Amino acid sequence: MRMMFVFSAVFFAVSTTPCQAQTQGWHATYDQARTAAESGTQPVLIHFHAWYCGPCQRMDREVFADSQVQQSLTNGMASVKIDVTHEPELASRCGATSVPRDVVMFPDGTIETLNVGYMQKPQYLSLLRDISERGIQMSVPKPTDPAPSNKIVSNASADTAADVKKDDASNSAPIAVSEVTEPPIDPPLIGLEGFCPVLLHDKREWKAGNEKITADYRDVRYVFSSESNREIFLKNPALYAPQDLGCDAVVLTGTQRAVTGSIRFGAFFDERLYLFQSPENRAEFKKNPLKFVRIRSALRVDQVEGSKFQ
C-alpha cells in the first residue's frame, strides 16, 4: 500500500511538470493581467485558445514551452491565455471567432488582432518584440514646451555691450535673436478615401462620410456618415479599420514591404477588411487567407509606402 502511494505521488509530480513549464510567463486570469498592465502602463497580450484546438496544443508544445518565449511574454507586457469556451464574452468583445488568436490591448485603448492561426517560435518572438516596442513608445510621455525662462533676451545696443567686463568669461558680442516660424502641419491621412468604415463593414455599403464627423486611429483619420457610427467605431476601431494600415497583405508577407492597397481591390476575411494593389493579389489572398494573415506586423504610418491613403 505504501509503495502504491509513493508511485502515485511520483507519477503526479512528473505529469504536472510540463504543464507548469508551459504556463510560465502567463498571468492566471485576465483581471490579473489588466491590473499588472495598468500598474506599469503596459500592453495586455491575450492568447485565445480552446481545449479542442489542435494548433493551440501544438503552440503549447513547440512555442510556449520555450524559455525564451516565456521570458519575452513578461518583457514590457502582461500576458494571459484565455480559453474561449470559458470566457465567451471576452472572446466576443475581442472578435476571437477562431483560435488560436493573439489580441493585444495597448495603453491608449487600441485593440488589435496581431495573429490568427498557428505561429512558429521565430515569428512569435518577433511579434512579442513588436508589442513591447509599441508599448514603450506609447508609454513615453510626449515632450512638452520648456518652462519659460526668467531671462529676457533682446537686441543689445552698442553702449550696453561696452559696459560688459572684458575679463568676464562669458563676454561675447550681443546676439540678435529672431523667432523661427513653425513648420507647416501635414494634413492627416484619410482612411478609405473618406468612406464610412462602419457602413462598409456592417452593411457592405459605400457611403461618403461627413467631413465634420471624424476620428483618428493609429494616425489615420476616418470619416463617418453619422455620430452614432463614429461611436460604434470607437468601441472597437481595429474591427472597422483596414488591416495592416490598409497595406497589401500579399506584398507584406512576400517582401516585408508595407505598400498601401486600394479600396478598388478589397476583401473581407474573418470580418476584417484587407486591401490590395491589384485584383491578382486579391485572388491570391482568397486562395489561402491564413497564409497572409498569420504573421501580422505592428506597422506605423511612417513605414507605409505608396499612395497616402488607400
Q: Residue 78's beta-bridge partner residues?
A: 44
Q: What is the mean pLDDT of residues 247-266?
A: 88
Q: What is the bridge-based pairing of β-strands 101-105 and 262-269?
A: unpaired
Cβ-Cβ contacts under 8 Å for 129 (sequence gap 6 or more):
72
Average pLDDT, the chain: 77
Instruction: Select from 293, 108, 127, 143 the least CA-distant residue to 218.
Output: 108
More confident residue, 6 or 172: 172
Task: Check whether 15 has a pLDDT greater than 90.
Answer: no
Tell me the CA distances in angstroms from 202 to 93, 239, 310, one per residue in order. Answer: 16, 10, 20
Percent above pLDDT 70 for the chain: 72
What pLDDT is stored for residue 203 in this prediction? 94
Q: What is the mean pLDDT of residues 226-242?
A: 92
Percent above pLDDT 90 for the chain: 34
Fold of 22-138: Glutaredoxin (3.40.30)
Q: Residue 183's beta-bridge partner residues?
A: none
- Summarised one tens digit per residue, pLDDT across range 46-105 is 999 998 888 899 999 999 999 999 999 998 899 999 998 899 888 888 888 888 899 998
What pLDDT is stored for residue 109 in this prediction? 74
Cα(237)–Cα(273) distance, rounded to whole angstroms? 12
Indicate the pLDDT class of residue 139, thresholds 50, 70 and 90: low
Exposure b/e, 229-263, CB count within 10 A at least 16 = b: bbebbeeebbbbbbbbbbbbbbbbbeeeebbbbbb
Cα(1)–Cα(7) distance, rounded to whole angstroms? 10
Q: Where are the domains of the chain?
A: 22-138, 202-303
Amino acid at 58: R
Indicate the pLDDT class of residue 160, thresholds 50, 70 and 90: very low
Task: Check whether 178 has a pLDDT greater than 70.
Answer: no
